[in-house]
Amino acid sequence: MRFSIYRYDPDKDARPRMQDYELKLEATDRMLLDALVRLKAQDDSLSFRRSCREGVCGSDAMNINGKNGLACITKIADLPDKVTLRPLPGLPVVRDLIVDMTQFFNQYHSIKPYLINHDAPPERERLQLPAEREELNGLYECILCACCSTSCPSFWWNPDKYVGPAGLLQAYRFIADTRDQATSERLDNLDDPYRLFRCHTIMNCTDACPKNLNPAQAIGKIKEMLVRRAV
């Protein structure tokens, strides 16, 4: 199997370059990450993040043949013989496939990603009906891998001003939670030409999500709530 991988070490490289690698596949190489780990055994300077290797921690997001995805759940069998790997687009590169995710997390933090409920907590759990809880499905599962936000042209242009699909999905996760009391404050926080309305429904986010979540739909629901509130 052949690879072309984006390499950049600011400690010694003047500019980024693409480096070719070849790997003889073994039976145990199932996922792209397996191949990357074996390439790193040959060349220990090849740098990428990884942890859970099962698609739940969100560490190994990268651009795989032009599409964002997680290396650990991308099957080698589904890839062509030549694979091109680049860091997630739009974020500053720290080194090789490792990007600086500060802007991404700043936007996540900006939506107040925590339950807000001003009542004194009851002695037991707050009640929530199964149907109400189901409203959170497709939202709470986000792993903050940034595949969506870094596939979004609006986020590329304005990562400091536009919340981006991941942050907006989480904003809606709290709006949709019957235990949360800050809906109107949350909508105020997003009612802005940039923070929410830079979304032009391009839908790259939903296409890129490795967990099959639908940020575009959540964004649509927030927009709808703002429109309804205005009339």
Partner 1 sequence: MALQTRKFDAIVVGAGGSGLRAALELARAGLRVAVLSKVFPTRSHTVAAQGGIAAPLGNSSEDHWHWHMYDTVKGSDYLGDQDAIEYMCRRATEVVIELEHMGMPFDRLDNGKIYQRPFGGHTQDYGSPKMAMRACAAADRTGHAMLHTLYQQNVKSSTQFFVEWMALDLIRDAEGAVLGVVALEMETGEPMILQAKATILATGGSGRMFQSSTNAFINTGDGLGMAARAGIPLEDMEFYQFHPTGVYGAGILITEGVRGEGGYLLNKDGERFMERYAPNAKDLASRDVVSRAMATEIKEGRGCGPERDHVLLKLDHLGPEVINLRLPGIREIAIKFANADPIKDPIPVVPTVHYQMGGIPANRLGQVVAPRNGDMEAVVPGLYAVGECACVSVHGANRLGTNSLLDLLVFGKAGGEQAIADIRAGAASHKDLPKDAADRPLARLAKLDSTSGGERVSEVGNDLRKSMQMHCGVFRFPELLVEGVDKVGEIAARAERISIDDKSKVFNTARIEALELYNLIEAATATAVSAEARKESRGAQARADFPERDDKNWMKHTLWYKEGNRLEYKPVHLKPMSVDTFEPKVRTY
Largest alpha-carbon pair distance within the chain?
63
Of the two residues 82 and 126, which places its CB atom closer to partner 1 in the complex? 126
In the complex with partner 1, the residue whose CB is nearer, 195 or 198, is 195
Please state the closest distance from residue 118 (CB atom) to partner 1, in A. 12
With respect to partner 1, which residue has the nearer C-beta, 177 or 198? 177
State in angstroms the smallest separation of the CB of 151 from partner 1.
19
Angle between helices 183-190 and 164-175 (to 10 degrees): 160
Map tokens 């099957």 to a residue: 75
Closer to partner 1 by Cβ: residue 136 or 187? 136
Shortest distance, CB of residue 106 to partner 1, whole angstroms?
11
Q: How far is the CB of 134 from partner 1 (least distance, A)?
A: 9
SS3 sequence of 88-155:
CCCCCEEECCEECCHHHHHHHHHCCCCCCCCCCCCCCCCCCCHHHHHCCCCCCCCCCCCCCHHHCHHH
Residues that bind partner 1 (CB under 8 A): 9-12, 28, 30, 40-41, 43-45, 47-59, 73, 75, 94-95, 98, 101, 105, 109, 112-115, 117, 121, 123-130, 132-133, 136, 140-141, 143-144, 174, 177, 179-180
For residue 82, list its beta bridge partners. 2
Other Cβ atoms within 10 Å of 231 Cβ, number? 4
